[in-house]
């Protein structure tokens, strides 16, 4: 993993863990570790020219580069409110800061790809890429693969024998692939070349282990192209993924399914590939036509991908959005139902992270790394779509900060103020959680399992409705796009869907008939 | 106590810790230097320690050390903060620390301002008297004389001794500019100062066949009779020479108070309510699938009904350093054998129980006892072992608190109501819960040597001698 990606991953550890459970319909669950665009800053860049001469080992060299990266990233985090900037595909092609490249180049100069011990393979890959020594990455990779081949193929002459495609080789190729994919600027051509070569080297019929790896690489390339709005690339890689899936013998496919996990991993993988192959544009076109067409297309893609019934997906697409119940405050205190009938609605769930102000042992107000991205996403939506009805859903917990147990109304008022402090737009609905207290001497306050609104929006536990879960709902109250976590990376899909819904409404207004 | 601390002016005048007035003055200086609003927290610590260590009847270490520390924390109440520390209190250093804290703050992710936050419930700081002029005034020369007398007593009998004597004093305060201004903030820890003293001594037979130990700790040096300790260690050494081997197995044991404290130590830290409710430890009853939580043994009998495990700030024999956010009254974790409380913090108390105070951990506890004297216990023992103390006690199984460790510095066989011979040391494998459920007799509670807990804090304890049946010794140990 490149150093800058490690830094970014470290900084957004909590977000990352949530991203795992994000099951966005169109594969947006694959989080992209991206950096903010260079922008105006409040502080001068720090001195980032360490004396690398005193670092004698590879680990020290990597650590020195890491420190420079950390300094720059931290500086960027402080100086740039990157989460107020919408997604920009150019971020992936933005060069790394010069001090970081210089440090990596100076520090890695002593490590010649042709002679360096292979024990440093995993550390050197990202270091070479930061130093823009791409040719050395290829050299090092070749040496590493040759070493494996010479060991495992000692008794066989062919380098592409089944024996040579062992776990170690796959792991090495995966490391190189991940390094290319996470490098900045993006090394997609190198990643594609590596994947294609890997694919061609695998004897047919393909067995489960290499198949799973190469399919994962293709799908990752497809999703990366989706992020880059490269429709052709996305379809190309998605098609290869599906072709490989289809080519598997039933027994091997069963193994792959078992390894990925039947109900989540494999099905979602296949479904994401189908979506990528179809293209986002097709989905948006169907949504512009009607919600019914969109829902039917989603169901068809699911059936095509998994061979299962549409209901088995667990996705609440096409379901009627339950009405939210609780204390309503914010911009629309008219007491009307939410989601608002006849309007496009965005419902976002917040459970604890933003408003539970002493959730952590160190008793900080909250963790901005989680709360701020959501509220800033919502601010961007509000600015771009003034007619969009945004509803933030929270629930009472029986306490607020240090206060003695407040009434639900008091707690709702505190929660609303906490969200106001984040400049969260829209209307807040705070549901009243039912509690009971265990008898003495235990006396614990226990929340009832039925959580207001959260339970209804989990659709029989088939969908996560915790922190950051978001639902785009059309004018008829039908759920169009659910996501387990609203992130900056997934915003553009919501934007596309909202624009499609708005376009349909405008068209229907022009035609004088409803769009559904 | 206050007489000594109040007249402190500057540490470099030869005083040992900072006075309340000095701490307040430092805090005011820091508050004035802060720029840009927000909260300024000032944490001021000072400590002094005099120690003397000897081995093989010769002093190996004699020291007199002290230090001060100022930590400046700048930030928003309940929000991100930046901190910097220094041990220099001149104007330039203090201002540099403030600026460093503000620079650190500027590098943090800033949460939104939250002026709406409610005022915290008031906290009452428990008072305790754990200051001893006898400890504070024990000079290096006096410590040397004490060591000399202790060494002499062993040397005159031809024995080798090793020991350690330590006296400490410390002060701590954490003050908030926001609380001073009547605004919401977490809390302040008002100035508190305390003393601590300890003395322990091991006496060995030069041939390596016998060993005796005695030790005591207290906040008050006047409560430590070093001569009696030396006499006791010497007597144990002489009586433990030339031990015989016994078969490992289950024995009736008479655990001297020090051995009881050594064995109980792992158990008392299991009285953690939050960890227990997460499913860890011996006080978990069962998971409740219907409610989605873990039931505890609160309200259930867990040890012999003669055992009460309690804690009280006001107990002068314990001498406990007060801590903000914990209750002020006495606590019984175990009352007549029934688990009645486990410790937790203030946040848990407010959220889960609607209480303003947490329950303090057993950093300082008293175990109830009985009236049996050691002689009475020995007389009533047909066959058993008398244990001076345990060492290297570690937990083998967290849920049953099954421990293992070694007997040390004196182990004797009791036969037909009399001590008959010294015995080679054993490794034991036993749970303190098992012992506390197999009690035959209890002696009167006695203060024991327990200088520091897991986190280095002072952990006074008062425990009885216990006579218990079926204590499991699992192997012989060659060490004396």
Q: What is the DSSP string of B225-255?
A: -HHHHHHHHHHHHHHTSS-B----EEEEEEE
The rounded Cα B70 to chain-centroid distance in angstroms is 25
Least confident of A148-152, B45-49, B92-96: A148-152
Residue A9 is predicted with a pLDDT of 31
Look at A445 and B351 and tell me if their CB atoms are within 8 Å: yes
Of A418, A423, A442, nearest to B296 by CB-CB distance is A442
Residue B295 pLDDT: 96
pLDDT at residue A325 in the model: 93
Sheet containing strand B461-463, strands side by side: B338-339, B331-335, B309-311, B365-367, B461-463, B446-447
pLDDT above 50 for B3? no
**pLDDT of res. A289:** 93
Q: Does domain A327-437+444-494 have CATH number 3.20.20.10?
A: no
The pLDDT, as a whole number, for residue A50 is 63
Give chain A positions within 8 Å (CB) of B340: 441
Better pLDDT: B30 or A259: B30
Q: Where in chain A is the domain with CATH 3.40.30.10?
A: 327-437+444-494
User: How much is the pLDDT for B350?
Assistant: 81
Over range A335-364, report the average pLDDT.
72
Q: What is the predicted pLDDT for the residue at A290?
A: 94
User: Collapsing DSSP states into helix, strand and coil, what is residue A271?
Assistant: helix
pLDDT at residue number B113: 58
Question: Which pLDDT score, from 0 to 100, does residue A461 have?
Answer: 78
User: A479: closest CA among A466, A497, A467, A502?
Assistant: A497
More confident residue, B106 or B457: B106
Task: List chain A residues with CB under 8 Å of B295.
Answer: 442
Q: How many residues does chain B have?
A: 480
Q: How confident is the model at residue B304 (pLDDT cuts 50, 70, 90)?
A: very high
The minimum CA-CA distance between B186 and chain A, rounded to whole Å, is: 9
The whole-number pLDDT of residue B81 equals 79
Cis preceding-peptide flag for A162 (omega within 30 of 0): no
The reported pLDDT for the residue numbered A57 is: 87
- What is the average pLDDT score of chain A? 78
Class of domain B2-204: alpha beta
Strand partners, B64: B50
Mean pLDDT of A98-111: 90
Position B247 scores a pLDDT of 96
CA end-to-end distance (rounded Å), chain A: 47
Sequence-distant contacts of A337-341: CB under 8 A, at least 24 apart: A338/A389, A338/A391, A338/A427, A338/A429, A339/A389, A339/A391, A339/A473, A339/A477, A340/A389, A341/A475, A341/A477
Look at residue B474 and tell me whether its pLDDT is greater than 60: yes
Helix A134-152 with A167-182: angle, nearest 10 deg: 170
> Is A347's pLDDT higher than 80?
yes
Domain ranges of chain B: 2-204, 244-480
Question: Which pLDDT belongs to residue A6?
Answer: 30
Cα B263 to Cα B272: distance, rounded to the nearest angstrom: 18
For residue A74, pLDDT beyond 70 = no
Q: With an 8 Å Cβ cutoff, is A365 touching chain B?
A: yes
Residue A332 has pLDDT above 70, yes or no: no
Answer for the pair A442, A455: CB distance below 8 angstroms, yes or no.
no
Other CB atoms closer than 10 Å to residue A480's CB: what's the count? 26
Residue A346: CA atoms inside 13 Å, Cβ hemisphere, count? 29
CB contacts under 8 A, B 262-281 vs A, are 277
**Residue A97: predicted pLDDT:** 87
Residue A420 has pLDDT above 60, yes or no: yes
- pLDDT score of B328: 73
Give the helix/strand (H/E) hosting B104: helix B91-106
In chain B, DSSP finds a helix count (H) and a strand count (E) of 12, 21
d(CA B19, CA B261): 34
Q: Which of A368, A399, A449 sits opposite B109 (nearest CB)?
A: A368
How large is the average pLDDT for residues B427-443?
97
CA A466 distance to own-chain centroid: 16
Q: Nearest 10 degrees: CA dihedral of B457, B458, B463, B466? A: 50
Measured in Å, how far apart are chain B's first and last C-alpha atoms? 43
pLDDT surpassing 70 at residue A150 = yes
Confidence label for A69 from pLDDT (cuts 50, 70 and 90)? confident
Give this prediction's pTM. Answer: 0.73
pLDDT value at A391 more than 50? yes
- Phi, psi dihedral angles at B275 (to 5 degrees): -65, -40
CB neighbours (10 Å) of residue B68?
A: 20
Beta partners for residue B70, in sequence order:
B44, B86
Looking at every residue in chain B, the average pLDDT score rounds to 89
pLDDT value of position B249: 97
Nearest CB to A365 within list B111, B277, B341 = B111
Mean per-residue pLDDT, A159-170: 62
Tokens 């035609």, residue located? A511
Q: CB contact, 8 Å: B92 with chain A? A: no
At residue B107, the pLDDT reads: 72
pLDDT over 70 at A512, yes or no? no
B109 to chain A, any CB pair closer than 8 A? The answer is: yes
More confident residue, A500 or A42: A500
The answer, for A81 touching chain B at a CB cutoff of 8 Å, is no
Q: Is A235 touching B (CB cutoff 8 A)?
A: no
Of all residues in chain A, the one with the smallest CA distance to B297 is A442
Helix (H, G, I), strand (E, B) or coil at B282: coil
DSSP state of A190: H
What would the pLDDT profile of A5-56 be if each residue is shown by its tens digit?
Answer: 332 333 333 333 333 333 334 433 322 222 333 333 334 444 556 676 777 7
Q: What is the mean pLDDT of residues B201-208?
A: 94
What pLDDT, on the 0 to 100 scale, is given for residue A225?
Answer: 86
**What is the pLDDT, as a whole number, of residue A463?**
83
Predicted confidence band of residue B266 (pLDDT cuts 50, 70, 90): very high
| Residue A355 reports pLDDT greater than 80 | no
What pLDDT is attached to residue B458?
Answer: 60
How far does Cα B85 stand from its chain's mean position?
Answer: 27
CB nearest A365 (choices: B79, B293, B354): B79
Contacts of A399 in chain B (CB under 8 A): 350-351
Closest by Cβ to A404, choosing from B113, B121, B352? B121
The order of strands in the sheet holding A327-330 is A327-330, A427-431, A389-395, A345-349, A470-473, A479-483
Whether A280 and A496 have beta carbons less than 8 Å apart is answered as yes
pLDDT reported for residue A17: 35
Which residues of chain B lie closer than 8 angstroms to A368, CB-CB?
A: 80, 109-111
**pLDDT (average), residues A426-434:** 91
Whether residue B301 is predicted with pLDDT greater than 90 in this model: the reply is yes
Return the pLDDT at B364: 86
Looking at the predicted structure, is the pLDDT value of residue A398 above 70? yes
Helix, strand, coil content of chain A in percent (nearest 5): 55, 5, 40
Residues B383 and B367: their CA atoms lie apart, in Å, by 26
A368 alpha-carbon distance from chain centroid = 18
CA-atom Rg of chain B in angstroms: 25
Provide the pLDDT confidence category of residue B150 given band limits of 50, 70 and 90.
very high
């Amino acid at each position: 993993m490149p150093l800058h990606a490690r830094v970014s991953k470290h900084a957004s550890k909590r977000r990352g863990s949530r991203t795992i459970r994000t099951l966005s319909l169109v594969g947006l669950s694959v989080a992209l570790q991206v950096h903010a665009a260079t922008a105006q800053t409040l502080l001068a860049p720090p001195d980032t020219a360490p004396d690398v001469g005193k670092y004698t080992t590879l680990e020290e060299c990597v650590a020195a580069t890491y420190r420079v990266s950390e300094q720059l990233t931290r500086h960027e985090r402080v100086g740039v409110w990157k989460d107020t900037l919408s997604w920009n595909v150019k971020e992936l092609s933005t060069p790394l800061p010069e001090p970081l490249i210089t440090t990596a180049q100076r520090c890695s100069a002593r490590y010649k790809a042709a002679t360096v011990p292979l024990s440093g393979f995993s550390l050197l890959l990202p270091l070479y890429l930061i130093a823009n020594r791409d040719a050395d990455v290829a050299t090092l990779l070749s040496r590493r693969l040759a070493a494996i081949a010479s060991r495992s193929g000692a008794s066989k002459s062919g380098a592409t024998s089944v024996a040579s495609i062992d776990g170690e080789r796959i792991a090495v190729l995966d490391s190189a692939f991940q390094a290319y994919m996470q490098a900045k600027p993006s090394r997609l051509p190198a990643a594609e070349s590596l994947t294609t070569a890997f694919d061609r080297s695998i004897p047919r019929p393909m067995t489960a282990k290499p198949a799973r790896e190469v399919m994962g690489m293709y799908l990752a390339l497809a999703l990366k192209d989706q992020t880059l709005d490269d429709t052709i690339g996305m379809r190309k890689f998605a098609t290869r993924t599906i072709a490989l899936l289809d080519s598997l013998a039933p027994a091997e496919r069963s193994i792959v399914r078992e390894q990925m996990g039947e109900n989540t991993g494999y099905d979602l993988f296949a479904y994401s590939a189908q979506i990528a192959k179809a293209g986002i544009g097709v989905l948006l076109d169907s949504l512009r036509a009607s919600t019914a067409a969109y829902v039917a297309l989603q169901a068809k893609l699911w059936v095509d991908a998994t061979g299962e019934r549409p209901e088995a997906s667990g996705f609440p697409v096409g379901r009627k959005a339950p009405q939210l119940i609780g204390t309503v405050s914010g911009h629309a205190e008219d007491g009307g139902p939410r989601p608002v009938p006849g309007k496009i609605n965005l419902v976002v769930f917040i459970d604890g992270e933003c408003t539970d102000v002493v959730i952590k042992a160190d008793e900080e107000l909250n963790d901005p790394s989680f709360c701020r991205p959501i509220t800033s996403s919502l601010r961007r939506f509000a600015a771009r779509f003034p007619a969009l009805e945004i509803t933030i859903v929270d629930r009472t917990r029986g306490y607020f900060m240090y206060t003695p147990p407040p009434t639900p109304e008091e707690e709702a008022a505190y929660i609303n103020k906490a969200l106001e402090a984040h400049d969260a737009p829209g209307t807040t609905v705070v549901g009243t959680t039912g509690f009971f207290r265990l008898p003495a001497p235990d006396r614990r306050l226990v929340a009832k399992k039925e959580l207001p609104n959260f339970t209804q929006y989990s659709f029989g536990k088939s969908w996560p409705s915790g922190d950051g879960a978001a639902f785009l709902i059309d004018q008829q109250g039908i759920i169009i796009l659910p996501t387990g976590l609203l992130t900056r990376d997934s915003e553009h899909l919501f934007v596309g869907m909202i624009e499609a819904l708005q376009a349909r409404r405008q068209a229907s207004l022009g035609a004088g008939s409803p769009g559904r | 106590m206050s007489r000594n601390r109040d007249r402190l002016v500057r540490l470099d005048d030869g005083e040992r810790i900072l006075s309340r007035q000095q701490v307040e003055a430092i805090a005011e200086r820091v508050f004035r230097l802060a720029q840009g609003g927000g909260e300024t927290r000032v944490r001021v610590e000072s400590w002094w320690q005099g120690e003397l260590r000897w081995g093989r009847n010769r002093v190996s270490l004699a020291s007199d050390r002290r230090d001060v520390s100022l930590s400046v924390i700048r930030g928003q109440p309940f929000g991100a903060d930046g901190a910097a520390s220094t041990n220099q209190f001149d104007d330039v250093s203090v201002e540099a620390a403030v600026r460093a804290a503000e620079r650190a703050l500027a590098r943090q992710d800033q949460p939104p301002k939250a002026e709406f936050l409610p005022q915290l419930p008031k906290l009452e700081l428990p008072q305790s008297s754990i200051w001893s002029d006898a400890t504070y005034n024990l000079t290096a020369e006096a410590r040397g004389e004490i060591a000399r007398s202790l060494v002499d007593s062993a040397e005159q009998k031809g024995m080798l001794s090793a020991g350690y004597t330590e006296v400490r004093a410390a002060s701590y305060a954490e003050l908030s500019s926001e609380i001073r201004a009547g605004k919401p903030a977490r809390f302040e820890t008002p100035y508190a100062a305390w003393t601590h003293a300890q003395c322990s001594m091991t006496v060995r037979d030069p041939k390596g066949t016998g060993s005796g130990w005695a030790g005591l700790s207290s906040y008050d040096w006047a409560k430590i009779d070093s001569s009696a300790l030396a006499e006791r260690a010497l007597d144990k050494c002489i009586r433990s020479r030339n031990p015989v081997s016994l078969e490992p197995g289950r024995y009736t044991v008479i655990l001297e108070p020090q051995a009881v404290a050594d064995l109980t130590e792992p158990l008392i830290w299991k009285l953690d309510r939050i960890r227990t409710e997460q499913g860890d430890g011996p006080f978990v009853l069962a998971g409740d699938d219907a409610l989605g939580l873990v039931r505890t043994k609160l309200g259930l009998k867990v040890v012999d009904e003669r055992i009460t495990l309690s804690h009280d700030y006001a107990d002068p024999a314990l001498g406990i350093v007060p801590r903000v956010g914990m209750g002020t009254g006495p606590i019984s974790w175990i009352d007549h054998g029934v688990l009645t409380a486990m410790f937790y913090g203030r946040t848990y108390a407010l959220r889960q129980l609607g209480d303003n105070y947490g329950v303090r951990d057993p950093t300082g506890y008293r175990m109830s006892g009985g009236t049996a004297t050691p002689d009475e216990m020995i007389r009533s023992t047909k066959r058993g072992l008398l244990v001076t103390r345990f060492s290297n006690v570690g937990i083998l199984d967290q849920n049953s608190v099954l421990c293992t460790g070694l007997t040390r510095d004196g182990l004797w066989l009791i036969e037909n109501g009399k001590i008959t011979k010294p015995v080679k040391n054993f490794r034991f494998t036993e749970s303190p819960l098992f012992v506390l459920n197999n009690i035959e007799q209890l002696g009167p509670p006695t203060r024991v040597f327990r200088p520091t807990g897991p986190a280095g804090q002072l952990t006074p304890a008062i425990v009885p001698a216990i006579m218990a049946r079926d204590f499991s010794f699992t192997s012989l140990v060659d060490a004396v």
